[in-house]
Amino acid sequence: MKHVVTMAVGGYDSLPELLVDALRRHPSATLLVEAKRKQEVGRRTAAQILREARAFAAYLQSLGVDPGDRVALLMGNQSRWPISALGVFLAGGVLVPLDYKLSGPEQAALLAHAKPKAAVLDYAEWRKHEGFEVPVVLVNEAPAEAELGEGLRWEDHAEGEVPRPVVLPSRDDLATIVYSSGTGGRAKGCMLTHGAYLSQLDALLERFPMAPGDRYFSILPSNHAIDFMVGFVGPFVCGATVVHQRTLRPELIRWTMRRYAITHMSVVPLILEAFERTVREKLDELSGWRRGAFEALRATNAKLTERGPRPAVSRRLLAPVHDAFGGALKLLICGGAATDRATAEFFYDLGIPVVIGYGLTEACTVVSVHGLEPWRADGVGRIVPGVEVRIHEPDGHGVGEVCVAGPTVMTGYVDDPEQTAEVLRDGWLHTGDLGYLDASHHLHLVGRIKDVIVTPGGKNVYPEDVAFAFREVDVEELAVFAANTVWPERALGKDQLVLVVRPVEGVDPTPALARANRQLAEHQRVSGWLAWGEDFPRTASMKLKRKALVEQVGAGSTRDDLRSVG
């Protein structure tokens, strides 16, 4: 069932060069489809996309965007996301994709950090902000009566304009700056080159080729490394279709999968678990003998797909389940955070392969990923071509810090030599993740040494950022850590944040901590607090010595001493 990829990525030097060529190869292929709730609102061929992107590039140029200038993109998943992104590339710009799910202040902090020449935003995003330091602000889909101040409308440019020619970037030039952490205090803008993307694309298309007729449903935010690659660049190169749904609700996600017979999708573990819940609820509704019959079919399917997926067979055997997911699903890519092996196996037995891999923004998209033949869910897959992995200072069991090298690794964090030097040492990216390589060169992760948690929704949360929310609570001292930093445990998927608190004598801080905790976004909340009686170790300038405190607390307490925050 392998499709032949007709484009060799290797011969290109930049994303715009590759994408323009790809769009010209299959001009009449429908590459973008957009739905708004249960209605289709747009459909575009490759030729139309190229025309619109070129007109947008000319618009950017007319507003003063020159080659090498940064352009921030802050939009929900929709057709204009890739069109705008391509426009930025065609104008020679560096794309700074930002997460529309962040709060206004978080977005503002990243915009201030990235210092873009222009920002392209949805009206809903634009409304989150009170003022802009950005010279050019383009607002998408603002209502006719909206007062935009200095902002301009995305739509205010002529169709059919063509950009003036620019010298296309080379492989070593910067393509994007992608932020790997959410908030201002420790903004980490990963600088990724065109070469990094091209190298990564080559490796991914070899393992997971897409073809005309494949339909990818883009639900991860498009700024996310996975969606950027699998929901924009990859399908454009292969002539496959990307489907966007403006309203990403579980019910509408299911509707869209059915309506467009989706074949590929990327999800985070949170969504995969929601899918599992849906299937299990349906199974629970089956009467005794029907359930028995279903289980027999599932066992048959598991047997028949031992060597690799056989979508047509599985679809016939287990039609009701497949129909619930649109009836055409070939694979689900799960990333962003640790995937539960049992969940992945549950779906595979139903004939829906879940592709598990490991990646981080600092290394473009993916470091390792499982293939499909045979399908596996143990570990996080084989190292992809073009990427080198080594285990730094392994212990007796071969476990150490996962380090990555090769063309896909970022050139550094933008404007931050200090943080760059911490993670890029002697040409190796130190990921902060603990793991080992097995005899067949598959990577396995066992924990984290960085003081960070990764949520099931795929978000990195840094303890120092969260501590800010508790600044007004009446305590002597307080600090936030990842529980795993204080009490190391070799397990993934159980990440949580905890507070270490030196209370004011005679005052129970629990209610105030609970109040402050509720002000945080759900994924940033701490799960418990530890009462600590001793002064926190501090430097002469009163800066907290986090490492020393971790050692003291780790030695003098256990997870069982944690108290609830209400």
Partner 1 sequence: MSDVSPRLKQLAVERFGDRAATLGPDDDLFDSLGIDSLQALDLLTDIEEAFDVEIPDYEVSGVTTLGGLAEVIGRHR
Q: Residue numbers of the site for partner 1 (CB under 8 A)?
A: 37, 101, 103, 124, 247-252, 270-271, 274, 456-457, 518, 521-522
Whose Cβ is closer to partner 1: residue 251's or residue 535's? 251
| Residue (233 or 253) nearer to partner 1, CB | 253
Pair 476, 500: CB distance under 8 Å: no
Answer yes or no: are the C-beta atoms of 64 and 31 closer than 8 Å. no
78: Cα within 13 Å, side-chain hemisphere: 19
* Shortest spacing between CB 297 and partner 1, in angstroms: 28
Distance, in Å, from the CA atom of 19 to the CA atom of 26, rounded to the nearest integer, reads 11
CB of 366 to partner 1, least distance (A): 25
CA nearest 114: which of 87, 132, 129? 132
Closest to partner 1 by CB, 279 or 449 = 279
386 touches 406 (CB < 8 A): yes
- Tell me the closest approach of the beta carbon of residue 221 to partner 1, in angstroms: 12
Q: Closest approach of Cβ 38 to partner 1, in Å?
A: 11
Q: How far is the CB of 246 from partner 1 (least distance, A)?
A: 9
Phi-psi region of 473 (alpha: psi -120 to 50; beta: other; left: phi over 0): beta
Q: Which residue, 251 or 422, is less far from partner 1 as judged by CB?
A: 251
For partner 1, the closer of residues 13 and 273 by Cβ is: 273
DSSP single-letter state for residue 233:
I
Q: Which is closer to partner 1, CB of 173 or CB of 276?
A: 276
Closest to 116 (Cα-Cα) out of 139, 96, 87, 89: 96
- 123 or 132, CB closer to partner 1? 123
What the block records as the tokens of 174 is 């910067």
Contact 436, 446 (CB under 8 A): yes
The minimum distance between CB 406 and partner 1, in angstroms, equals 35
Give min distance, CB of 251 to partner 1, in A.
5
To partner 1, the closest distance from the beta carbon of 44 in angstroms equals 23
Distances in Å between the alpha carbon of 69 and those of 52, 107, 138, 548?
20, 19, 15, 43
Q: Whole-number minimum distance, CB 274 to partner 1, in Å?
A: 5
- Of 91, 95, 93, nearest to 166 by C-alpha is 91
Q: What is the CA radius of gyration of the chain?
A: 24
Distance between CA atoms of 16 and 2, rounded to whole angstroms? 27
Q: How far is the first Cα of the chain from the last one, in angstroms, to the nearest whole number?
A: 53
Q: Which is nearer to partner 1, 151 or 456 (CB)?
A: 456
Residue 256 CA to its chain's centroid (Å): 21
At 372 the three-state DSSP class reads: strand
- Whichever of 159 and 281 has its CB closer to partner 1, that residue is 281
